[in-house]
């Protein structure tokens, strides 16, 4: 069983989901559940992990937090977890291409698999999947929508 709490943010409503001791998911408004499979969720705005996640997200949106420090419960394949851990290495305000990330995890031919793993990132924003761009630098798919991806990149570039 998971606990959840929905918060308002500059990129819309975000549903935060946690287990007993760690963050399990950050879901975008209107998600249908196909990106991340979760069991039943019970609303608990007072859960310590959810309170801390909300605090850190608010600091991020205010431009005062560049790195998150939260306990994460990442359920995925070995490749997905490697991709997610490498995403954490992309500095605030920077971007990388899918092919660069594939090379960094030692799988240069796995660009499509990297893209699929990126799309399954359970904790959007916290693990900065928005920092991956196409080979030409253009914005590509994002669970929160391209407008929100653009907004997050603009925030990190200091242009908001």
Distance, C-alpha 61 to centroid of its chain: 14
129 catalytic residue (yes or no): yes
| φ, ψ at 51 (rounded to 5°) | -65, -45
Contact between 16 and 29 under an 8 Å Cβ cutoff? The reply is no
The one catalytic residue in 18, 129, 143, 155 is: 129
State the DSSP string of 78-145: HHHHHHHHHHTTSPTT--EEHHHHHHHTT-TT-HHHHHHHHHT-SBBTTB-GGGEE-TTS-----TT-
Q: 13-51: b or e for each residue (b if 16 or more CB lie within 10 Å)?
A: ebbbbbbeeebbbbbbeeeeeeebebeebeeeeebebbe
- List, by residue number, the catalytic residues: 129
């Amino acid at each position: 069983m998971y606990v959840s709490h929905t918060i308002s943010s500059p990129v819309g409503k975000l549903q935060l989901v946690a287990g007993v001791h760690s963050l399990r998911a950050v879901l975008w408004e209107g998600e249908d559940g196909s990106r991340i499979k979760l069991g039943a969720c019970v609303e608990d705005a007072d859960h310590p992990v959810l309170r801390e996640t909300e605090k850190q997200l608010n600091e991020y949106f205010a431009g005062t937090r560049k790195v998150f420090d939260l306990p994460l419960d990442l359920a995925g394949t070995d490749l997905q977890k490697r991709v997610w851990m490498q995403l954490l290495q992309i500095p605030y305000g920077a971007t990388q291409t899918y092919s660069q990330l594939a090379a960094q995890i030692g799988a240069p031919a796995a660009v499509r698999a990297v893209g699929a793993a990126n799309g399954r990132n359970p904790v959007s924003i916290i693990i900065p999947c928005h920092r991956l761009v196409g080979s030409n630098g253009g914005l590509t798919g994002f669970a929160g929508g391209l407008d929100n991806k653009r907004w997050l990149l603009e925030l990190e570039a200091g242009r908001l």
